[in-house]
Amino acid sequence: MRNRLVAMIAGIAMFTPPAPVSAGPKFAPYPERKVTDCAVRADKGDISVGAQAVEDTKDQKVYFATEMTEKGYLPVYVVIENRSVADSYLFDKSNVAMADASAGAVSEARSKTGEKFAMFGVGGIFAMRAITSATAVQENLLKNEIQSKTLSPGVSVKGFLYIPIPKQGARGGIHVQIPLVNSRTNEIQVVNLTI
C-alpha cells in the first residue's frame, strides 16, 4: 500500500508544472483607446491625436507595477490616427516635444526659455532607468512606449509617453507637440495638446 501511495504521488508530481522561482511583477494590458475615447483630443489636417494621462497611482501599479508619479514621471497614453484616404505620414517619436503649459506654445518655450522645453527621443531609455531598476518593469515600459511609424491612410499608432513631472506638489499643465511629416509633400503637420 505504501508503494502505491508513493507511486501515485510521484505520478501526480510528473504532471504538475514546477512553480516559477520568481514570478516577477504582473502587468495588466492597458485598454486600447481610439482618439474619441481620450480625455484630450486635437486635429490638424488629416491627423487626429488623443491623449489620456494615467494619474491614479493605483492604475500605475496595475499597468506598470510601479508608482511612476512618485518617481517623477507621468505616463500618458497617446493614439495618433491618419484619417487621410491618400497620404501617409511619418511619426518620429524623437521629435515629440513638451513644455510647461504656462510657458505658452512649445515654439515660444523653445526660443525664450530653453530649460522649459524638452525633447523625448533618446532620453526615454534613461527615463526608464530613473523610474525603476527592475528589469521586468523596464521591459514593460519599453514595450508599451509609443514607437516611430509610417502611418498609411487609415492607420494609427498607440503607446505611452513618459513625461517628467515634479515629484512633490501639484503638477501644472503640460503642452505636448507632436509633429508628423506628409511623406508625399514633406509638409509638417504639428498637433498640439495640453495635458
Q: What is the CATH number of the domain that holds 50?
A: 2.60.40
Confidence of residue 40 (pLDDT cuts 50, 70, 90): very high
Distances (CA, A) of 194 to 173, 182, 186: 6, 23, 26
Confidence of residue 116 (pLDDT cuts 50, 70, 90): very low
Confidence of residue 169 (pLDDT cuts 50, 70, 90): confident
Q: How far is residue 3's CA from residue 143's CA, in Å, rounded to a whole number?
A: 51
* Amino acid at residue number 52: Q
The count of other CB atoms within 10 Å of the CB of residue 97 is 21
| 78 within some domain | yes
Average pLDDT of the segment spanning 131-135? 66
| 82 within some domain | yes
| 15 within some domain | no
How high is the pLDDT of residue 117?
42
Torsion angle (degrees, nearest 10) of CA 46, 124, 147, 55: -70
| 129 within some domain | yes
Residues 6+ apart with CB under 8 A from 125: 142
| 12 within some domain | no
| Cβ atoms of residues 74 and 140 within 8 Å | no
pTM of the predicted model over 0.85: no
How high is the pLDDT of residue 136?
86
Query: Where in the sequence is the domain holding 84, given as residue range(s)?
Result: 27-194
DSSP alpha helix (H) spans, the chain = 2-15, 57-64, 106-112, 123-131, 135-144
| 9 within some domain | no
How high is the pLDDT of residue 112?
35
Q: Is the pLDDT of residue 10 over 50?
A: no
Average pLDDT of the segment spanning 162-182? 90
Average pLDDT of the segment spanning 164-187? 91
Confidence of residue 189 (pLDDT cuts 50, 70, 90): very high
| Structure-model confidence comparison of residues 109 and 143, the more confident one | 143
| 41 within some domain | yes
Question: How many domains does one find in the chain?
Answer: 1
| 21 within some domain | no
The grid coordinates of residue 1 equal: 500500500
| Cβ atoms of residues 95 and 106 within 8 Å | no
Q: How far is residue 25's CA from residue 137's CA, in Å, rounded to a whole number?
A: 8
Q: Which of 39-48, 71-80, 133-142 has the lowest mean pLDDT?
A: 133-142
